[in-house]
A = this chain, B = another copy of it.
């Protein structure tokens, strides 16, 4: 028996007991004739005490132990004279009577502490040591708790978890597939799923009624900072439902998750149309932890001979509460910020709404105090506020203003990590026009149902058609999305046609789904949540990487195991493929 208790378990009521603990040497403190060791395991830290008077040999043995040695200590639980109120075991210590070294350790390349001295690269290379750090491990414990809470909720709602296959068929649509050469079917390849989309729809055709799966998905994309080639989805689908049923059920799930995992009541989720989200926030995933909604003051700016606004399709303003104290230097810096190529604004106009009721702007040459007052009134600005204006083509300026708004929210401390605001964005457009390829793309995916009342526009005005599609957005992050699916074969065929699939293409790629739809497909819909993202949100972190046990870097490499790697020629030969040289 390696231990009678864990390192997080002993309390004042255990005093007098002889116990056996095992764990890692987290820290050693030596004082004259005394030494203390913080013994660490997943459950906590317990202080081991060594005393020259009590046992000189043991003290010496203890002093030979290095950081991260694995030891077993047998001894008596004793009340500490100098209690540590910061840890649950802080009232007691173990007077060690026997010490066994279970394993030695080299000195770790970085400190195993919350604030480690290790950089990203070395932490990733020694991920097994990084995972020893309490905060990193806690992220993965949180992940486990979120998964548990998801399962609890969906199980109660009679969802069945069904595993869909990982070795499937490549579909050129969408992002790039990872592929797997088949040895038994040479020259042919499996693909790894980008999502179980078609399989979950088949399960609905099969009458499973309510399906879910917490499942790995794969995308061979050029990786941005916060993307991973393999990621995890909470994938769900339901039959005999309308959009309203799905929104209600998964609103319930998110409320349940916040309650279970964070102890928070997140309340009813507001619903915002895609059009409103773009109009008010310039963003289909608005961060509604703060207001600062867009004001369209185009008309108020016209006819005053300010050539920049005269030429602009749209002039947008936001009101930064209490920011009239900004210095000229701050505003110059903000102007440089919006002019960066990532944002792309030509310039920034600002109006101080001074505490004394006067106005001062960067365009005083063209606009009178009365003009400025009109702007301020539309923006509901109060004395002490700052108006920030951008102008240009509507879509472009909405996008720029969205970035500026988020940046101001950050600078003003309005995007608090411990505050959570969730909403549904609904009524997405069904299609978006791809200017480059001069064709329509499905905004969601080709199986998304148009709103029934918009179907007549399929032939006349495809761009105006709204989809029965919805996203769940929390704190400006799209955590999930889905749609009601097309379950009618003719409508699906029409969609494929609009999307530029020939009948052969559609049949080759989705033939099995189209066939399935011939045999009594029920009305159905669903959604998927990005599980990694959801966990990082719950953890109050920006990136997903520390919520994944063994993540890959931006080159898709696992630097710890050194994958991918070259493989044997023999292996390649068996697979019937070779590498281009």
Known: A2-B242, A169-B564, A240-B2. A179 touches B178 (CB 8 A): no
Contact with B along A408-452 (1 / 0, CB 8 A): 000000000000000000000000000000000000000000000
Segment at the interface with B among A200-208, A268-276, A367-375: A200-208
Contact with B along A113-144 (1 / 0, CB 8 A): 00000000000001111011000010011011
A interface size (C-beta, 8 A)? 123
A168 near B561 (CB under 8 angstroms)?
yes
Chain B residues positioned under 8 Å from A518 (CB to CB): 105-106
Q: Indicate if A567 sits at the interface (CB-CB under 8 A).
A: yes
B577 near A579 (CB under 8 angstroms)?
yes
Contact with B along A190-205 (1 / 0, CB 8 A): 1110000011001101
Q: Indicate if A19 sits at the interface (CB-CB under 8 A).
A: no
A199 near B550 (CB under 8 angstroms)?
yes
A520 near B169 (CB under 8 angstroms)?
no
A209 near B68 (CB under 8 angstroms)?
no
Q: Indicate if A42 sits at the interface (CB-CB under 8 A).
A: yes
The dominant DSSP class at the A interface is loop
Complexed CA–CA distance, A199 and B488 (Å): 45
Chain B residues positioned under 8 Å from A225 (CB to CB): none
Whose C-beta in chain B lies nearest to the C-beta of A129? B519
B105 near A172 (CB under 8 angstroms)?
no
Known: A40-B207, A571-B170. A183 touches B189 (CB 8 A): no
Chain B residues positioned under 8 Å from A106 (CB to CB): 518-519
Complexed CA–CA distance, A102 and B106 (Å): 68
Complexed CA–CA distance, A430 and B571 (Å): 28
Q: Indicate if A43 sits at the interface (CB-CB under 8 A).
A: yes
Contact with B along A126-168 (1 / 0, CB 8 A): 1111011000010011011001100100010000111111111
Q: Indicate if A523 sits at the interface (CB-CB under 8 A).
A: yes
How close is A162's CB to chain B, nearest CB, in angstroms? 5
Contact with B along A225-256 (1 / 0, CB 8 A): 00001101000000011100100000000000
Known: A180-B178, A187-B566, A216-B166. A520 touches B70 (CB 8 A): yes
Whose C-beta in chain B lies nearest to the C-beta of A244? B1
Chain B residues positioned under 8 Å from A131 (CB to CB): 203, 206-208
Chain B residues positioned under 8 Å from A549 (CB to CB): 162-165, 199, 203
B519 near A562 (CB under 8 angstroms)?
no
Q: Indicate if A22 sits at the interface (CB-CB under 8 A).
A: yes
Complexed CA–CA distance, A292 and B189 (Å): 49
Q: Indicate if A522 sits at the interface (CB-CB under 8 A).
A: yes
A103 near B240 (CB under 8 angstroms)?
no
Segment at the interface with B among A387-395, A471-479, A551-559: A551-559
Complexed CA–CA distance, A129 and B205 (Å): 8
Chain B residues positioned under 8 Å from A313 (CB to CB): none
Closest 9 CB pairs of A and B: A105-B520, A131-B206, A169-B563, A188-B564, A2-B240, A182-B564, A68-B520, A42-B209, A128-B202
Q: Can you list 11 A-B contacts (CB < 8 A)? A: A2-B241, A105-B519, A131-B203, A137-B207, A165-B550, A167-B218, A168-B558, A169-B563, A172-B568, A189-B567, A202-B550
